Structure 1
Amino acid sequence: MRTFIKSCIPQCLWILGSPSRKFHGNNRLLTSQIISHYESINQGKKELPEYFNFASDVLDEWARLEKVGKKPANPAFWWVNEEGEEVKWSFEELGSLSRKAANVLSEACGLQRGDRVLAVLPRVPEWWLLNVACMRAGIVLIPGTSQLTAKDISYRLQASKAKCIVTNDTLAPAVESVLPGSQFLKSKLIVGQGSRNGWRNFKELLVVASADHKCVKTRSQDPMLVYFTSGTTGFPKMVVHSHSSYGIGFATTGRYWLNLTPSDVMWNTSDTGWAKSAYGSVFSPWICGSCVFVHNIPQFQPAVIAETLSKYPITTFCTAPTAFLMLVQHDVSSYKFPSLKHCTTGGEALNPEVFAKWKIQTGLDIHEGYGQTETVAICANMKGMKIKPGSLGKAVPPYDVQIVDDRGAVVPRGEEGTIAVRVQPTRPFCLFSEYLDNPEKTAASVCGDFYLTGDRGVMDEEGYVWFVGRADDIINSAGYRIGPFEVESALIEHPAVSEAAVVSSPDPVRGEVVKAFIVLAPAFVSHDPEKLIHELQQHVKKVTAPYKYPRKVEFVQDLPKTVTGKIQRNVLRSKEWAKV
Structure 2
Amino acid sequence: FRIGAVALPCNTQLRAADLAHRVAVADPALALGEDDLLDGVPGGVECMGLTEIGAVLDEERPQAPPAAAADLDPEDPALIVFTSGTTGEARAAVHPQRYLFGQRLQAEHWFGARPGELAWCTAASGWSKSARNAFIAPWLGGAAAYLHAGRFDPAERLAICERERINVLCQAPTEYRMLAKRTELRPVPSLRRLVSAGEPLNPEVMRAFHSGLGLDIHDGYGQTETGALTGALAGEPVRDGSMGKPLPGIELRIDEGELVVRRATCPTFFTRYLGSDPYVEEWWRTGDRVHADGDGHLWFEGRDDDVIISSGYRIGPFEVESALVSHPAVSEAAAVAAPDAERGAIVRAIVVLRSGEPGDELARELQEHVKRQTAPYKYPRVVEFAESLPKTASGKIRRAELRAGAGA
Task: Give the TM-score normalised by the residue count of structure 2.
Answer: 0.74
Contact 1:229 1:239 in 2 (8 A): yes
**Is the counterpart of residue 228 in structure 1 residue 82 in structure 2?**
yes
**Is the counterpart of residue 351 in structure 1 residue 217 in structure 2?**
no
Q: Structure 2: how far apart are the matches of 1:136 and 1:438?
A: 26
Contact 1:232 1:472 in 2 (8 A): no
Cα 1:456–1:277 change in 2 (3 A) is same
Which residue is 1:420 aligned to? 260
**Is the counterpart of residue 385 in structure 1 residue 236 in structure 2?**
yes
Number of residue pairs matched? 335
Give the Å deviation of 1:462: 1.3
**Is the counterpart of residue 205 in structure 1 residue 56 in structure 2?**
yes
Cα 1:513–1:466 change in 2 (3 A) is closer
Unmatched tracts of structure 1, length 5 or more: 1-134, 193-200, 406-416, 475-503, 516-536, 553-567
Q: Aligned to 1:439, what secondary structure does the other structure show? A: coil
Contact 2:25 2:274 in 1 (8 A): no
For residues 234-264 of structure 1, give each alpha carbon's deviation from its aligned partner in whole angstroms, at most 9, with x where no partner exists: 211110111112x121112111212222121
Cα 1:382–1:548 change in 2 (3 A) is closer
Which residue is 2:37 aligned to? 171
Q: Structure 2: how far apart are the matches of 1:460 and 1:254?
A: 25
Q: Aligned to 1:430, what secondary structure does the other structure show? A: coil
Contact 2:38 2:47 in 1 (8 A): no
Cα 1:547–1:174 change in 2 (3 A) is farther
For residues 443-468 of structure 1, give each alpha carbon's deviation from its aligned partner in whole angstroms, at most 9, with x where no partner exists: 6xx5xx42111211111221111111
Give the Å deviation of 1:386: 2.3
Cα 1:421–1:549 change in 2 (3 A) is closer
Contact 2:336 2:402 in 1 (8 A): no
Correspondence 1:325-474 to 2 at 5 A: 325-333=177-185, 335-405=186-256, 417-423=257-263, 426=264, 428-439=266-277, 442=279, 446=281, 449-472=282-305
Contact 1:232 1:473 in 2 (8 A): no
Contact 2:226 2:268 in 1 (8 A): yes
Task: Give the TM-score normalised by the residue count of structure 1.
Answer: 0.53
Root mean square deviation of aligned Cα? 3.2
Which residue is 2:380 aligned to? none
The amino acid across from 1:242 in the alignment is P
Cα 1:472–1:142 change in 2 (3 A) is farther
The amino acid across from 1:461 in the alignment is G
Deviates more, 1:323-332 or 1:143-152: 323-332
Percent identity, aligned pairs only? 30
Deviates more, 1:140-149 or 1:270-279: 270-279
Q: Structure 2: how far apart are the matches of 1:545 and 1:373?
A: 13
Q: Structure 1: how far apart are the matches of 2:222 and 2:406?
A: 26
**Is the counterpart of residue 278 in structure 1 residue 116 in structure 2?**
no
**Counting helix residues as a fraction of each chain, which structure ranks higher?**
1
Cα 1:234–1:330 change in 2 (3 A) is closer
**Is the counterpart of residue 242 in structure 1 residue 96 in structure 2?**
yes
For residues 41-69 of structure 1, give each alpha carbon's deviation from its aligned partner in whole angstroms, at most 9, with x where no partner exists: xxxxxxxxxxxxxxxxxxxxxxxxxxxxx
Give the Å deviation of 1:510: 4.3
Larger radius of gyration: 1
For residues 132-180 of structure 1, give each alpha carbon's deviation from its aligned partner in whole angstroms, at most 9, with x where no partner exists: xxx12201110100001001111100110112111222223222xx32x
Unmatched tracts of structure 2, length 5 or more: 308-320, 338-386
For residues 185-232 of structure 1, give each alpha carbon's deviation from its aligned partner in whole angstroms, at most 9, with x where no partner exists: 3x211124xxxxxxxx22223324335442112111110000010234
Which residue is 2:378 aligned to? none
The amino acid across from 1:351 in the alignment is N
Q: Aligned to 1:379, what secondary structure does the other structure show? A: strand
